[in-house]
Amino acid sequence: MKNLKISFLLLTCVLFGLQLQAQIEKAPPRSEGEGPWSQFIIRGVTVIDGTLSPPIGPVDIVVENNKITSVQVVGFPGMDINPNRRPQLKPGGKELNAEGMYLLPGFVDTHAHIGGIPQGTPAEYVYKLWLGHGITTICDPGSGNGIDWVLDQKNKSNKNEITAPRIKAYNWFGNNLDGERGRLDITTPEAAREWVRANAKKGADGIKFGGGLPEVMTAALDENKKLGLRSKTHHAQLYVGRWNVLNSARAGLTSMEHWYGLPEAMFEDRTVQNYSLDYNYQNEQDRFGEAGQLWTQAAKPYSDKWNAVMDELISLDFSISPTMVIYEANRDLQRARRAEWHEEYTLPALWDFYAPSRQSHGSYWHYWGTEQEINWKQNYKLWMTFLNEYKNRGGRITVGTDAGFIYQLYGFAYPREMELLREAGFHPLEVIKAATLNGAEALGMDDQIGTVTVGKLADFVIVEENPLENFKALYGTGAIQLQEDNTIERVGGVKYTIKDGIIYDAKQLLEDVKKIVKDTKAETGYKITQPGMKD
């Protein structure tokens, strides 16, 4: 009887997995968005163009066949616009009145997983959260859904058959390329080169590494570079003693993710992290708890070693996608858990995935407390010092989120990452450049996107509030503002997201997400609860 019960449970799990997979793989045909048109004019907007130029307006922007053809100043703030200065609308064209609003290039998320089976997040849900926050291009660094699935979504997005950002599809190094799940054990340079060539032939835009044997990494990065593809690495502790950020950059890596491998490259009085002697990498509280002590073990800011590592990385045109937001719960768990958007925007399956667990990735809250958070706060200070100086010396920092883990929600994590760059010392214009032009450069797309420039694609974010004054105005929940009559209002949130000249009502996309969550809760009777506490 016991064996029968176990078999029944296993069968139930398998069937649930298949149903969930089918749900995730359903990206419905696009029913949102207006356009595109042969000509499209945005009228009277104030432009923040992504190049560090200060805002300028009023401006009329002309788009023809998805290319910006004119960015024309048409007047002065506070004065009537002379209609004779304005570009003329052609028959069949579309005008959008954006007077008093702000326009930026479409945002680029350089580290954006399209959900997956463990999180129970359908693609439509993730895409609308991204577009609802102005994210028009993402780089999926190896989705749990498999490279074939991501390439299919990329193709549909390119054709605007689905409501989704533009997708760059990277593949985890060693993933099976025959459609089966699982990862190959690549242990020789020859096998590494063969896999890289096959990955390129498959159509992937690049590779995401987690580290590896030095000879394997060297061969794989060399072959990938020869093929003209890009690469990124999460330098896992399992390999970082033999292969850190400098090794990767010298071998041709184009971008590092997070910060692992960077402090290790700056060790002066040790060769290995000061692990506790009962440390176990598979215990994620060990892994992430002690990672919070790493920056204090590296060379001090502005020391010779610190400077040498930084200067060499910059000389190699090396990009950093820090994803500070994904680790912010480590320095303030309560804040991340109780973010106001969870109630209406976080799916039940995703909320359960976030909860403390010994097997769900990023759910390492076994007994997280004050000491871990103090370590991580110090970690952030040193990390941010490096990032700000890297930017000051000409290095490229991008905005990536890695959301879908550690209480960080797709879309909402993006303005939070921008706020963290601001905390690190970036001027708001530098933050916008990191979110737009820098991201485009890191993905090799700066000839197409990243700035409001004649000849580039019509990807824009339009907001009613000035984002330079308050990045909180970019959150889907907006910012709280006290009015003159002492009433409280929510202001901000992206008003329009424009991708490939198609206008999306960003607020409606987020309403769609709320409905998905509400309907799911109604079907299951689910409500968010506090782990370890009874209602």
Which 3-state string (H, E, C) describes 294-313? CHHHCCCCCCHHHHHHHHHH
24, two tokens: 């995730």
Per residue in 436-467, pLDDT tens?
Answer: 999 999 999 999 999 999 999 999 999 999 99
The DSSP output letter for 166 is E
260, two tokens: 């692992």
Mean pLDDT by 10 residues, the chain (535 residues): 33 35 64 96 98 97 97 94 91 96 98 87 96 98 87 97 97 86 87 97 96 95 96 94 96 95 97 96 93 96 98 98 97 95 95 91 92 96 98 98 96 98 98 98 98 98 98 97 95 97 98 96 80 56
Rounded to an integer, what distance in angstroms lies between the CA atom of residue 239 and that of residue 25?
A: 34
Instruction: Output the pLDDT for position 167.
Output: 98
Is the preceding omega at residue 58 within 30 degrees of 0, hence cis?
Answer: yes
H or E, element range at 397: strand 396-397
Instruction: Output the pLDDT for position 281.
Output: 94
Instruction: Output the pLDDT for position 532.
Output: 61
Instruction: Output the pLDDT for position 473.
Output: 97
Rounded to an integer, what distance in angstroms lies between the CA atom of residue 174 and that of residue 192?
A: 8
At 67, is the secondary structure helix, strand, or coil? strand
Neighbours of 154 (CB within 10 A): 21
392, two tokens: 């000051």
- In this prediction the pTM is 0.93
508, two tokens: 């409606």
Neighbours of 284 (CB within 10 A): 19
Per residue in 373-425, pLDDT tens?
Answer: 999 999 999 999 999 999 999 999 999 999 999 999 999 999 999 999 999 99
Compute the half-sphere exposure of residue 50: CA atoms within 13 Å on the CB side of its CA: 25
